[in-house]
Chain A
Amino acid sequence: MNTKLLLLAFSVAAISSCSTAYKSGQTPDDVYYSPAKFEENKDKDDKEEERNDQAQQTTEDRRIRQTVRDRRWRVFDNDDYTFNNSPYNHWNCNQNNYGYYYNPKYYPTPIFTTTPVVNTVPRKINLNAYQGYNTATAKTVTTKNNTVVTTSPKYNNNNNNSNASTPKKQTFVGKIFRAITSKEGIPPNTSESNSGNSNTRSFPSSNTKSSSSSNGSSGGSSSGSSVTRPTRGGQ
């Protein structure tokens, strides 16, 4: 926040220090119409530019002449003359960084440096969760007219009727019946999917090469090494 304020203050100060050609007279508004402004002193400007070019050439000529006369003026500004092979800087010896370096003074063999393998798995989501959009997974039926309709509700945003996509309007009789039959507080969930032990997800057989118990730990067969779970127990 402070950086933004400082930047803002600096910018306002910079703009305020500008000088304008419209201090007197009307300030044009380009949204409506503004008169074209032509450069009246073009010839004069061109002459000045030429004079600057000549001055620059003279400076360059003078430098070359001094270089010829005195070797101290010869500045190595060409890449061909650069020399980066410093005995104290083993990283920049005009070579690529291959993940190792070699210090001839102290070590007879290269010293390898390791960087941890970065996990590059994309941020994934189960795309089947976008029900009804992924045609491969939508639960559908074919009607008499051969039109395919999605049968499962996509959304549930209330605790009254867990299997409804949107709350249904209740009739007066329905309200009375519901008041008699329902309990206070959060009503019981009537969805089939929540009854019994239904909140489990099954592994396909291809993903269970070895069995695992609830208290056991899994070994790892991916490119990384395995991580052991803590032992389940009380504090």
Chain B
Amino acid sequence: MHKYLLIICLLTSNVVFAQIPEDAKRYSFYPQGGTARNIAIGGAMGSLGGDINATFVNPAGLGLFKTKEVVLTPAFAFNNNKSTYRTTLEKNKLNNFNLGTTGFVWAYNNRYKKSSSAFSLALTQTADFNNTVKYNGLNNFSSMAEQFAEEMVTVNINDVLSTNSPVAYGAAPAFYTFLIDTVSSGGNLTVKPATGFILDANEALKQEYTKTTKGGIYELALGFAYNTNDKWLFGGTIAMPIVNYKSTTTFKESDTSLKTSNFFNNFVYTDDFTTKGIGLNGKFGVIYRPKEYVRIGLAVHTPMFLFLKDTRETNLSTALENPVNTYTTSSKTFTNNVKGESKYIQSTPFKAMLSGSYVFREVENVKRQKAFITADVEYVHHKGSRFGSDNEEPTEDEKAYFKDLNNVVKGYYKGNFNFRVGGELKFNILMARLGFAYYGNPYKEAELKANRMILSGGLGYRHKGIFVDLTYAHSFNKDVDFAYRLADKANTYATVKNQRGNVVATLGFKF
């Protein structure tokens, strides 16, 4: 019952809820997927309609359907990453299958009222997390072990090494393996990382980072649209997002000096993390046709209200010098020998879009249908992500953490505009398409640069009740990645440039 109350609170008030700020961006900063035809025209579907992908963009577009169809959209992606970390460049690749919009549309025409209606049942992959990011570099300024030291001093020292530790994933393994240790200094008890001996000597650490992510957000949706005399079209979609995210992060720091008595040799930290859950969201829209060949669309997407569960396990191996020894442990030592779990509720930002299309020759005779151009402007309120505990009885610490985290999300991100534009030329049964999309920077800080730019093109064939569309979309993605964060020092980050090729095919059937 309390889940329903929480949804009502989220809908009606400005209740703030989080895990870490980066989780917010994962569920809002991704390009629009869809059918091959839709991706080929840059994903612009806010006012065009007549494609099953309207279910996920502006459901009013389903109102243009007067027929029935079933579609299937498999896709294959090629990832190429170039990462720069402290002036060192590294490249890597990863390929994977994904799923575009798949489902069916059913239209019903009323000859007496000059109206029609349509509904759709569709499944799509709205976000694809499959990727591997790698970078490495020399660092004489900071160390990840300092993050563990910072974490350790936030809790009572007697609670650190416990089978139910409040710092089970970082500080506890680090303290257990002597990567960080307590030191008395001027009568105060302090925590010092072993890597601090290297930095104190003005020498550099070699840092190597690999993060492999898998999964995606899948959305199962039921859409409905009503068309009044081909003038006004109204539509709504109820969607169930399904989140499946898995990441494995490996971070290694090594002593680059040839000294064998400076207390530190290397450490390897591995973080296995999964997030799974389901949620609910709605999409509502309207399309107005002032003239036969003009379409103006307006759509709003409510936030996704996600009920998520994280499971996490970390492993740490620390090799020390003077005396030489290697210590290894798992976070499970500090979480009752089972993986840690955290249940929480996340609401993603709302979206709104304004669109326009110009269709040349909206006539029944397919041979006289010539072309269309279409464009969307979309606003995404990235700083609007909120998180809250889903535990039965959240502690005061938990509540305070979520409140602070939501404040950080509000300050760290901003709302931004995305642009999509595309067009098609039609030659009887063959079609050629081009598209472009730009997704703006979600970070408020100007120094942190992130954006996505997608160029796409495709061909289509439509004959004898069957249609086949083939698209290639190439994305140029830019983002930043922080391996660790420190509160009392300037932070260091990698600039990640990703190029992603996506081959999408749609097979459809009219009946």
Taking beta carbons and an 8 Å cutoff, which residues of A are in contact with B?
1, 4-5, 8, 11-12, 15, 18-24, 26-38, 116-135, 137, 152-159, 162-163, 165-166, 186-189, 191, 193-204, 206-214, 217-230, 232-235
In the complex, are the beta carbons of A203 and B188 less than 8 A apart?
Answer: yes
Any chain A CB within 8 A of the CB of B396?
Answer: no
For B203, list chain A residues within 8 Å (CB): 186
- For residues 130 through 160 of chain B, which have their beta carbon under 8 Å from a beta carbon of chain A? 138-143, 146-147, 149-160
In the complex, are the beta carbons of A211 and B465 less than 8 A apart?
Answer: no
Taking beta carbons and an 8 Å cutoff, which residues of B are in contact with A?
19-21, 37, 48-51, 64-67, 69-70, 72, 74, 85-87, 97, 102, 109, 111, 116, 138-143, 146-147, 149-166, 168-169, 172, 175-176, 178, 181-185, 188-193, 195-196, 199-200, 202-204, 256, 273, 310, 312, 323-327, 333-338, 340-344, 359, 361-367, 369, 372, 389, 391, 398, 401-402, 404-405, 407-408, 411-412, 424, 426, 429, 444-445, 447, 462-467, 485-493, 507, 509-511
In the complex, are the beta carbons of B161 and A28 less than 8 A apart?
Answer: no
Q: How far is the CA of A233 from the CA of B324 in the complex (A)?
A: 7
In the complex, are the beta carbons of B67 and A30 less than 8 A apart?
Answer: yes
For B199, list chain A residues within 8 Å (CB): 189, 194, 199
In the complex, are the beta carbons of B485 and A125 less than 8 A apart?
Answer: yes
For B338, list chain A residues within 8 Å (CB): 116, 118-119
Chain A residue at smallest Cβ distance from B164:
A224
Indicate which residue in B21, B66, B175, B445 contacts A37 across the interface (CB closer than 8 Å): B66
Interface of A is mostly: loop
Interface of B is mostly: mixed
Indicate which residue in A33, A35, A124, A214 contacts B182 across the interface (CB closer than 8 Å): A214
Indicate which residue in B139, B327, B398 contacts A122 across the interface (CB closer than 8 Å): B398
Q: How far is the CA of A95 from the CA of B426 in the complex (A)?
A: 66
In the complex, are the beta carbons of B509 and A20 less than 8 A apart?
Answer: yes
In the complex, are the beta carbons of A133 and B492 less than 8 A apart?
Answer: no
Indicate which residue in A18, A24, A26, A127 contacts B408 across the interface (CB closer than 8 Å): A127
Given A122-B344, A129-B485, A202-B188; A15-B507 close (CB under 8 Å) = yes
For A228, list chain B residues within 8 Å (CB): 161
Q: How far is the CA of A38 from the CA of B114 in the complex (A)?
A: 12
Known contacts A155-B493, A206-B156; 17 further A-B pairs (Cβ under 8 A) = A15-B507, A20-B510, A32-B363, A36-B116, A119-B164, A127-B405, A155-B492, A159-B138, A194-B199, A199-B192, A200-B183, A200-B191, A203-B153, A203-B188, A212-B189, A219-B158, A222-B158
In the complex, are the beta carbons of B157 and A210 less than 8 A apart?
Answer: yes
Indicate which residue in B74, B168, B362 contacts A33 across the interface (CB closer than 8 Å): B362
In the complex, are the beta carbons of B492 and A221 less than 8 A apart?
Answer: no
Given A27-B366, A158-B86, A165-B447; A19-B72 close (CB under 8 Å) = no
For B333, list chain A residues within 8 Å (CB): 227
Q: How far is the CA of A214 from the CA of B190 in the complex (A)?
A: 10
In the complex, are the beta carbons of A154 and B365 less than 8 A apart?
Answer: no
CB proximity of B370 to chain A, nearest CB, Å = 9
Ordered by A's residue number, 19 sampled pairs between the chains whose C-beta atoms are within 8 Å are A15-B70, A27-B467, A29-B366, A30-B67, A121-B168, A122-B344, A123-B169, A130-B411, A134-B408, A155-B447, A162-B140, A186-B138, A189-B140, A194-B200, A200-B196, A214-B182, A217-B161, A221-B158, A222-B166
Q: How far is the CA of A234 from the CA of B320 in the complex (A)?
A: 9
In the complex, are the beta carbons of B511 and A129 less than 8 A apart?
Answer: no
CB proximity of A39 to chain B, nearest CB, Å = 9
Q: How far is the CA of A133 from the CA of B21 in the complex (A)?
A: 11
CB proximity of B465 to chain A, nearest CB, Å = 3
CB proximity of A166 to chain B, nearest CB, Å = 7
Q: How far is the CA of A137 from the CA of B487 in the complex (A)?
A: 9
Indicate which residue in A30, A153, A210, A227 contacts B161 across the interface (CB closer than 8 Å): A227
In the complex, are the beta carbons of A130 and B447 less than 8 A apart?
Answer: no
Q: How far is the CA of A156 from the CA of B176 in the complex (A)?
A: 30
In the complex, are the beta carbons of A38 and B405 less than 8 A apart?
Answer: no
CB proximity of B86 to chain A, nearest CB, Å = 6
Q: How far is the CA of A134 from the CA of B77 in the complex (A)?
A: 38
Q: How far is the CA of A131 from the CA of B464 in the complex (A)?
A: 62
In the complex, are the beta carbons of A202 and B153 less than 8 A apart?
Answer: yes
CB proximity of B164 to chain A, nearest CB, Å = 3
In the complex, are the beta carbons of A229 and B164 less than 8 A apart?
Answer: no
Q: How far is the CA of A132 from the CA of B164 in the complex (A)?
A: 33
Q: How far is the CA of A199 from the CA of B488 in the complex (A)?
A: 10
CB proximity of A148 to chain B, nearest CB, Å = 14
For B87, list chain A residues within 8 Å (CB): 157-159
For B372, list chain A residues within 8 Å (CB): 31-32
Q: How far is the CA of A226 from the CA of B340 in the complex (A)?
A: 17
Q: How far is the CA of A11 from the CA of B161 in the complex (A)?
A: 53
For A203, list chain B residues within 8 Å (CB): 153, 157, 188-191
Q: How far is the CA of A222 from the CA of B397 in the complex (A)?
A: 14
For B429, list chain A residues within 8 Å (CB): 27
In the complex, are the beta carbons of B165 and A11 less than 8 A apart?
Answer: no
For B65, list chain A residues within 8 Å (CB): 30, 34
For B181, list chain A residues within 8 Å (CB): 214
Q: How far is the CA of A212 from the CA of B372 in the complex (A)?
A: 74
In the complex, are the beta carbons of A27 and B138 less than 8 A apart?
Answer: no
CB proximity of B207 to chain A, nearest CB, Å = 11
In the complex, are the beta carbons of A31 and B49 less than 8 A apart?
Answer: yes
Q: How far is the CA of A37 from the CA of B111 in the complex (A)?
A: 9
